[in-house]
A and B are shown apart, each in its own frame.
Chain A
């Protein structure tokens, strides 16, 4: 109970669809994708049903309950919380064996539970499953559900609200020697939070959190028993325990689920083509090209459409309003604001939205983990493994979730390398919008493409360099490859909205207010103290107008704002059309520096939280230095050739 409210947690292995189910149950949107580890922090929401209120937590996916990774720690800590009244274990009907093993672990800990068997619709196509029999064997409520079709979700909500979750009497019996050891440990356990037997099993497994939670003497006994078992059996006790769990789980699945031989279908053939290098690499390149080409074409099309709509709806209203109320000064202010709103709208809606729609589709098909297999070896040259590919792709959208996804990587060194690469070499959607929407528009797509190539080259150099510079630690890829599945339009649109809504809710108001303040400051020459002293960078090194420094500075707050800033700066010197504010080469240098330099404020905050202030500072300084150096080089080269 928490605040007098019944509290439950959704727990399950990665990619069984906890987040989708959570969304179905609560109506609170959380992002879900077709690969493991989409949820790294947990969400909570309250469901009301027939007058009962239930608070539900969506926990990150865990394969087991050994506290072996940060995620497992979080989950263990969470279920230890006495305020959790019930655990909903989410199983995957198409992979029941593994799901049941996790279910056994939760049972052993003596927690009241409900088993929600997700993907029931998909499983029905392949096997017959006797859920009643499963319920009888496991002695807990078993509810077949489908987060996709919403089938059974009402039943689950009812079961939850009526408090039908209960402790099971089902017990996994281990082989004799293990049982003897478990019994011996149980004799020494006093005053513990979990079930006595469950704790003894966990001690026998050698689970750190539990070892630290009992009396040192008991821990010592458990350690001796583990060693004895290992010498006697030539197998560690944790493996033996897992082996027994799986064999029991297999026996149960054989009983409740008919076995049909799965055919090698079209999906499997496609999956194989994606993984085999000879066909997979062309597919990977094609997917990459498709991403950019779609962004460019669909983006420019939408860009024009948005401008047209803006003209039709608002037109010169803002500017006229400014002139009407504030004379020349008012007109200048409103011109800047009008320009920046226009720039933002024509940037965000076309490019950022299009990108997120494509990313959403890629995520839901399950293509990304397959690309991971392909790029694994290449990534090793950078001291990373293939798994780093997914945060990088997510980073094409926004660096914040990308760096949060880095959390799943254990080694500090890998975190640092990956974070640096994401910050500097992976343009986020706002940076991409600048590259395509500004550089592409005013300098030409050859220049835009050149920026992407430079970023790629920088990634190679930086990756190799950091790999050499930082002390070696091994890193290994072990990742689940989900089945391919057709993306659902609803989920893709929902995710896209979730990802860009921040922009409208936070960035847009910030931008309008910021624009007004800056416009006034510029009008009264209040910012000369920044523009002047730093002009040696902007004018001297980069060959840009001195005032552009303001765009760079504002860009630290949010990258999209830099674009709006350009319009304001241009307006402040009386230029209405951005095209005549800078030359094509200048736009190129501007775009290049913007693409590399400094993480935005939100990104810095998340690096700080995930890694510490030293790393944040190091990454920021490295990125500013590199950006200026490369910008300067580009400026010089363009000047001479």
Chain B
């Protein structure tokens, strides 16, 4: 089991490495304001849990599990921070302090619900957010491209992503707007156009157009 204190180490390693490369014990000790000895101690524990690998003289590195766990934590931190500043109107510093404590006790489910209230997940340095939100892995809320959905699938548009602003505008004007519900109608061949119902209107989008629209599939 990971305690609050260990989670702080994981987040700090993530902040220092962004998931790539290793971090020296001394750097970590500096950041966290603890002695290098306690850092070594904690790294042992974390590597026993399978969250980091440690190489002597070179430093600690997050394992894939450690990375996703740390990112999820940081995500929760940002969600709380955002909630405290935007909804409760706290100042940034206080919000950061409190979020720092809350991140450890917030459940995945509550994180997603708060996310919904404050709108689109907003993150300043959570790179996982750019394409899809992994804050709630395991809840089946990962958005996928409209082009990858199958006949009869339903869901809600989470976001649009395309380099070409004109194409985005076109999709918006046709009603492909985040928050709206979609349903995939009969689609012929796999690579053929998708027939999508959004609101009460039905459109045919070819697979490239459909790949710009991201959908959060609904449960049923």
Name A's B-contacting residues (CB within 8 A). Answer: 62-64, 66, 68-69, 72, 94-98, 101, 175, 206, 232-236, 238-239, 242-243, 245-247, 250, 271-272, 275-277, 280, 369, 372-374, 376-377, 385-386, 474, 476-483
**In contact, A97 and B200 (Cβ under 8 angstroms):** yes
Nearest B residue (CB) for A105: B173
Given known pairs A246-B177, A477-B209, the reply for A239 and B201 (CB within 8 Å) is: no
State how many angstroms separate the Cβ of B220 from the closest Cβ of chain A. 14
Residues of chain A within 8 A (CB-CB) of B200 are: 94-98
Asked whether B101 is an interface residue with its Cβ less than 8 Å from the other chain, the reply is: no
CB proximity to A under 8 Å, residues B185-201: 185-189, 191-193, 195, 199-201
B167-181 interface code vs A (CB 8 A; 1 in, 0 out):
111111111011110
In the complex, what distance in Å separates the CA atom of A271 from the CA atom of B199?
18
In the complex, number of A-B residue pairs with CB atoms less than 8 Å apart: 133
9 examples of A-B residue contacts, CB within 8 angstroms:
A69-B170, A72-B173, A98-B201, A233-B122, A239-B172, A275-B186, A280-B188, A373-B188, A386-B206
State how many angstroms separate the Cβ of B145 from the closest Cβ of chain A. 15
Residues of chain B within 8 A (CB-CB) of A238 are: 168-169, 172
**In contact, B172 and A478 (Cβ under 8 angstroms):** no
CB proximity to A under 8 Å, residues B143-174: 159-160, 165-174
**In contact, A474 and B173 (Cβ under 8 angstroms):** no
Given known pairs A234-B121, A234-B130, A239-B159, the reply for A377 and B203 (CB within 8 Å) is: no
Residues of chain B within 8 A (CB-CB) of A62 are: 173
In the complex, what distance in Å separates the CA atom of A175 from the CA atom of B170?
23
**In contact, B204 and A369 (Cβ under 8 angstroms):** yes
Contact of A68 among B129, B170, B204 (CB under 8 A): B170
Q: Helix, strand, loop or mixed for chain A's interface? A: helix
- Excluding A98-B200, A377-B191, 10 further A-B contacts by CB distance (< 8 Å) are A72-B173, A238-B169, A239-B168, A275-B185, A373-B188, A373-B193, A376-B193, A479-B204, A480-B201, A480-B204
Residues of chain B within 8 A (CB-CB) of A271 are: 186
In the complex, what distance in Å separates the CA atom of A175 from the CA atom of B129?
21
In the complex, what distance in Å separates the CA atom of A622 from the CA atom of B111?
65
In the complex, what distance in Å separates the CA atom of A175 from the CA atom of B130?
21
**In contact, B201 and A95 (Cβ under 8 angstroms):** yes
Residues of chain A within 8 A (CB-CB) of B123 are: 234
**In contact, B201 and A373 (Cβ under 8 angstroms):** no
**In contact, B188 and A275 (Cβ under 8 angstroms):** yes
Given known pairs A206-B165, A369-B204, the reply for A478 and B195 (CB within 8 Å) is: no
Contact of B208 among A72, A243, A277, A476 (CB under 8 A): A476
**In contact, A98 and B170 (Cβ under 8 angstroms):** no
State how many angstroms separate the Cβ of A267 from the closest Cβ of chain B. 12
Nearest A residue (CB) for B212: A476
Contact of A478 among B179, B189, B192, B203 (CB under 8 A): B203
**In contact, A478 and B188 (Cβ under 8 angstroms):** no
In the complex, what distance in Å separates the CA atom of A480 from the CA atom of B195?
9
**In contact, B120 and A373 (Cβ under 8 angstroms):** no
**In contact, A478 and B170 (Cβ under 8 angstroms):** yes
Residues of chain B within 8 A (CB-CB) of A476 are: 167, 205-206, 208-209
Chain A CB within 10 Å — which of B129, B202, B206 has the most? B206
In the complex, what distance in Å separates the CA atom of A233 from the CA atom of B165?
17
State how many angstroms separate the Cβ of A552 from the closest Cβ of chain B. 41
Residues of chain B within 8 A (CB-CB) of A206 are: 165
In the complex, what distance in Å separates the CA atom of A64 from the CA atom of B171?
10
Residues of chain B within 8 A (CB-CB) of A480 are: 174, 201-204
CB proximity to A under 8 Å, residues B68-103: none
State how many angstroms separate the Cβ of B20 from the closest Cβ of chain A. 22
Asked whether B119 is an interface residue with its Cβ less than 8 Å from the other chain, the reply is: yes
Contact of B192 among A69, A245, A247, A376 (CB under 8 A): A376
Residues of chain B within 8 A (CB-CB) of A235 are: 120, 159, 178
**In contact, A377 and B192 (Cβ under 8 angstroms):** yes
Nearest B residue (CB) for A234: B122
**In contact, B195 and A68 (Cβ under 8 angstroms):** no
Nearest B residue (CB) for A479: B204
**In contact, B175 and A481 (Cβ under 8 angstroms):** no
Residues of chain B within 8 A (CB-CB) of A276 are: 186, 188
In the complex, what distance in Å separates the CA atom of A600 from the CA atom of B207?
38
Residues of chain B within 8 A (CB-CB) of A372 are: 204
Residues of chain B within 8 A (CB-CB) of A234 are: 120-123, 129-130
Given known pairs A234-B129, A477-B206, A477-B209, the reply for A275 and B179 (CB within 8 Å) is: no
**In contact, A243 and B177 (Cβ under 8 angstroms):** yes
Nearest B residue (CB) for A94: B200
Nearest B residue (CB) for A206: B165
Residues of chain B within 8 A (CB-CB) of A94 are: 200
State how many angstroms separate the Cβ of A237 from the closest Cβ of chain B. 11
State how many angstroms separate the Cβ of A2 from the closest Cβ of chain B. 29
Nearest B residue (CB) for A476: B209
State how many angstroms separate the Cβ of B40 from the closest Cβ of chain A. 38
State how many angstroms separate the Cβ of A153 from the closest Cβ of chain B. 23
Chain A CB within 10 Å — which of B121, B167, B195 has the most? B195
Nearest A residue (CB) for B133: A234
State how many angstroms separate the Cβ of B159 from the closest Cβ of chain A. 7
In the complex, what distance in Å separates the CA atom of A481 from the CA atom of B174?
12
**In contact, A246 and B205 (Cβ under 8 angstroms):** no
In the complex, what distance in Å separates the CA atom of A212 from the CA atom of B205?
31
Given known pairs A175-B119, A233-B120, A243-B179, the reply for A373 and B171 (CB within 8 Å) is: no
Given known pairs A98-B199, A234-B123, A481-B203, the reply for A243 and B178 (CB within 8 Å) is: yes
In the complex, what distance in Å separates the CA atom of A474 from the CA atom of B208?
10
**In contact, A373 and B199 (Cβ under 8 angstroms):** no
**In contact, B173 and A478 (Cβ under 8 angstroms):** no
Residues of chain A within 8 A (CB-CB) of B174 are: 63, 478, 480
Residues of chain B within 8 A (CB-CB) of A98 are: 175, 199-201
Residues of chain B within 8 A (CB-CB) of A376 are: 192-193, 204, 206
Residues of chain B within 8 A (CB-CB) of A239 are: 159-160, 168, 172, 177-178
**In contact, B185 and A272 (Cβ under 8 angstroms):** yes
Ordered nearest first, which 6 A-B pairs have the shortest CB separation? A64-B173, A63-B173, A95-B200, A477-B206, A272-B186, A277-B188
Residues of chain A within 8 A (CB-CB) of B166 are: 68
**In contact, A478 and B177 (Cβ under 8 angstroms):** no
**In contact, A479 and B175 (Cβ under 8 angstroms):** no
